[in-house]
Structure formats: structure tokens, C-alpha cells
Structure 1
Amino acid sequence: MSQLNIVATLKIKSENHAAFQTLFKKLVEASRKEAGCIRYELNQSIDDPDVYIVIETWASKQAIDLHNHTPHFIEFAAFAKEHCEKLEICILKPVL
């Protein structure tokens, strides 16, 4: 399978901004070092500072699977599950 993109949208609870900033930094820096990572970008909404969008590009499904089992991803996912108001993940394949 060819490269895949992930768009993850998180709406965090306002009281957790400081904790998320620490975890986001760790997640992004470590993810960018992974062999299958082509792009890992964290964005914040200009309309709602509690909304973050992560845009990722991975070399393959296998690279995503490996990423999902890394300590930095597991730590972030566990925290986000408990401290997000909303979390949506969409895996996409390029068509053109």
C-alpha cells in the first residue's frame, strides 16, 4: 500500500492546555523521528484555541501501526482519551 495521511481533530478541555502542550511537544518531536514518518504537523485553530488538528503523512499502513505502538503515542492517546471533549481520526489515501 502507498503512503497514507491522517487528520486527527482534537478539542481539548481548556483546563488541560499546559498538560497538552507538554505532551504535544513530545509526541510531535518523537513522531517526526520515526522511520515511516513523512510529515507530522500540529495546528491550532485560530477561531477556537481548544481545537488542534494533527496532519500526518506516513509511508505505509505498517508505519502507522508501528507508530501506534510507540511509547510516546500510547502516552498521548491515553491522556487524550480522558481529557478531550472531542477526538476524531480520519485515515486517508491520496487519489491524485
Structure 2
Amino acid sequence: MAEIAVVAISVAKPGYEEQLRKALEGIVGPTREEPGALQYDLHRDVQEPRRFVFVERWASKEALAAHAASAHIAAYKKAVADWVEHAEIRVVSKIA
């Protein structure tokens, strides 16, 4: 299995920054307990506080797929649907 990394960005709609922050913080614990979760760290952009960034490392593509299909991620997506202006997920591989 090859380790995989992810950068996931969520931008809150104006006025929904704190609701989105709390929802994102709520998925950190359950995700860190998932099989294959090596790193799952939430960050907030210093210059753009509506932008939240996850830096993730997974043991395999399969572990990442299981995470994406998990109940807590489905519930999160449903809860924040009206709070997110933009979301982007980038799967990356380390080259150096």
C-alpha cells in the first residue's frame, strides 16, 4: 500500500465562519480514529479566516475512500451544505 496525502479546503460563506469551524472540529476526532488515518490536522488561513484547510495523510487509497464514505462525513456534508461557499479536495503525492 502506498501512503496518500490530501489537502482539503473549505471556504465558509460570509457569516458562517464559526458554524463551519465547529462542524469541521467535530469531524477531527472520529476521523483520527479511522483505520488508515495517519494525519488529520485542521488549519485556518491567517489572512482569510473564512478558509479552512485540512492536511491529511492516509495509509492507502482504500483508507481514504472509506473515510469519504463514512457516516460522520456524510452527516457533516449534510449539516454544512448551506454554509460552504467553496470546497476543494486535492489528492497529492510527496515528491521530495
Which structure carries more helix by proportion? 1
Q: Matched residues, percent identical?
A: 23
In the alignment, what sits opposite 2:15? 15
Unaligned runs of 5+ in 1: none
In the alignment, what sits opposite 2:77? 77
Q: Secondary structure at the match of 2:55?
A: strand
Kindly state the Cα deviation for residue 94 of structure 1 after the two structures are TM-superposed.
2.2
Kindly state the Cα deviation for residue 24 of structure 1 after the two structures are TM-superposed.
1.2
Unaligned runs of 5+ in 2: none
Select between 59-68 and 10-19 the one with higher mean Cα deviation.
Answer: 10-19
- Structure 1 CA distance, aligned partners of 2:61 and 2:93? 10
In the alignment, what sits opposite 1:40? 40
Runs of 4+ in structure 1 over 4 Å off: none
- Structure 2 CA distance, aligned partners of 1:95 and 1:33? 27
Structure 1 length as normaliser, TM-score?
Answer: 0.88
In the alignment, what sits opposite 1:24? 24
Question: How many pairs align?
Answer: 96
8 A Cα contact 1:26 1:72, kept in partner: no
State the AA in 2 paired with 1:13.
K
- Structure 1 CA distance, aligned partners of 2:60 and 2:37? 9
Select between 48-57 and 78-87 the one with higher mean Cα deviation.
Answer: 78-87
